[in-house]
A = this chain, B = another copy of it.
Amino acid sequence: MPKQEQFVKEITDMNVDFARWYTDVILKTELVDYGPVKGTMIIRPYAYAIWENIQAELNTRFKKTGHKNAYFPMFIPYSYLVKEAEHVEGFAPEVALVTHVGNEELPEKLVVRPTSETIICDSYAKWVKSWRDLPILINQWANVVRWEKTTRPFLRTSEFLWQEGHTVHETPEEAQEETLKMLEVYREFAENVLAIPVLVGRKSEKEKFAGAQATYGMEAMMLDGKSLQAGTSHYFGDNFSKAFDIKYASKEGDLKYVYQTSWGTSTRMIGALIMAHGDNRGLALPPKVAPVQAIIIPIAAHKGGVNEKAAEIKETLENAGVRVEVDYRDQSTGWKFNEWEMKGVPLRIEVGPRDIENGVVTVARRDDFSKAQIEIASLEKAIPELLDTIQKNMLEKARAFRDSHILTVQDMEGLTAAVNSGNFAKAMWCGERSCEDKVKELTSASTRVMPFDQTPVGTKCVCCGKNLLKEDGTTEGKVIYFAKAY
């Protein structure tokens, strides 16, 4: 049996069992391993390198929008958690608690941060005195802990890595503007870096963050038609500033409460990358986050000059800003092709003796499996261009997939059929929690976001059938997406 087939067979067919496909891919590509404590994961070098690329891209965007990074302690006094009523209700059941140091019991149990609003607000109450101190625009990269019953690497783990922005403003308008600005930063990042087109909009009351006045999110469609919430941006109003007494002296000398936001994305995004772009051969990584953008495979390396030429091309491409490696290992060419295809490397460059004689190399794309011969002299320009093309093509492919998997539905029959056959359902919703709950109960789909474009897609609530068309021709209720979700 040829090696290639052997190899591919190790990954479960995604159309047969998507969950097993996911597990096969993340373990076999050495993205991740399971930690010894339930629900924890080890982020192996290949996945961590993706995370570092994500961090670099987000940091550039955060800094451009005026934010600075900082670091707050991970241990939060339990008494802080309970200051904001909704917040404690949302997080208390899943927080890990430190009660002892060595053999000694602590005077107060400590929460291992599930998120840092409370401890950061405690500092902001000290730091904010006058309008001159505002706005405060801080972001933090950190590990957080939320004890989940059902876990899966990257998607839902007891500990994960993330960034959380926490900002303080003078007015509600300014804070609302920040909330939407960061949502837009996330959207642009998801599309242009992760090559994942996302649906953005406001979350329902049921789905919003514990303690927020409004939560906005971006939803990414996975290849099984399920949704993955890939980032959220919250407007807190003065909920936390009242709980933590964060006040400033205005220009006019009044003492006023501040208005706040927070926003976050996490290692979940690596899960999104896998499930938005992968296939039965394994990962397919967009060039902007791929740890290796081009892999050079020497062919018939025992022949003189092949390894030397490979090294030369590597240097040329490195100088052109490409993340490139040569696979010199003592393995068959077929094995190497499969290995790097599975690892999702965007470009494979084959360097063989005959090609060298002709001054060319063979370049194979991971996104569409096309192959072309390229002159060695033009690689410096051609490879970066090709990486750009792949980046764009992956986004368009994902967009076409998503757009063809959003069905507009008018009733529960339509909604059920849509979400049960791997689609999102776009529908009118009366806005009542009871309908949201009923849809969830009957289909296991939840409300995802209400898009900013609220052009009506029907006249009745998809669930209760209530007429939403008013006499003046306008429509009540909301346009909203329903989907099964990770």
Contact = CB atoms under 8 A, between A and B. Distances in A.
Interface of A: 33, 35-37, 40-45, 48-49, 51-52, 68-77, 80, 92-103, 109-110, 112, 119, 122-123, 126-127, 138, 142-143, 145, 147, 158-159, 161
10 contacts: A33-B123, A33-B126, A35-B119, A42-B71, A45-B138, A52-B69, A71-B161, A96-B110, A101-B147, A102-B147
Nearest to A102: B93
**Total copies of this chain within the assembly:** 2
Contacts of A159: 73-75
Contacts of A43: 70-72
Contacts of A68: 45, 48-49
B101 A99 contact: no
B110 A101 contact: no
A42 B69 contact: no
A69 B70 CA distance: 21
A98 B161 CA distance: 19
A45 B70 contact: yes
Given A44-B70, A49-B68, 7 more contacts: A37-B77, A40-B73, A42-B123, A96-B100, A96-B101, A96-B110, A98-B112
Most chain B beta carbons < 10 A, residue from A37, A45, A71: A71
Most chain B beta carbons < 10 A, residue from A36, A159, A161: A36
B98 A97 contact: yes
B33 A119 contact: no
Most chain B beta carbons < 10 A, residue from A100, A122, A127: A100
Nearest to A51: B71
A94 B101 CA distance: 6
Question: Which 7 interchain pairs have the tightest Cβ spacing?
Answer: A45-B68, A40-B73, A35-B73, A43-B71, A93-B102, A101-B147, A97-B100
Contact of A80 (B36, B126, B142): B36
B138 A73 contact: no
A108 to B, nearest CB: 8
Contact of A73 (B42, B77, B122): B42
A339 B356 CA distance: 61
A122 B96 CA distance: 23
Nearest to A101: B147
Contacts of A69: 45, 48-49, 52
Contacts of A123: 33, 42
Contacts of A72: 35, 42-43
A119 B73 contact: no
A239 B473 CA distance: 79
A315 to B, nearest CB: 15
Contact of A94 (B80, B102, B109, B143): B102
Contacts of A52: 69
A147 B33 CA distance: 29
Contacts of A74: 143, 159
A97 B99 contact: yes
Nearest to A100: B97
Contacts of A71: 42-43, 48, 51, 161
A327 to B, nearest CB: 14
A58 to B, nearest CB: 13
Contact of A37 (B35, B73, B96): B73
Contacts of A96: 75, 98, 100-101, 110
Contacts of A98: 96-99, 112
Contacts of A92: 102
A33 B120 CA distance: 12
Given A102-B94, A143-B143, A77 B36 contact: yes
Nearest to A108: B37
Contacts of A41: 73
Given A143-B143, A147-B101, A75 B45 contact: no
Contact of A122 (B36, B44, B95): B36
A283 B143 CA distance: 30
Nearest to A97: B100
A99 B99 contact: yes
A341 to B, nearest CB: 21
A76 to B, nearest CB: 8
Nearest to A99: B99
A480 B143 CA distance: 41
Contacts of A35: 72-73, 75, 119
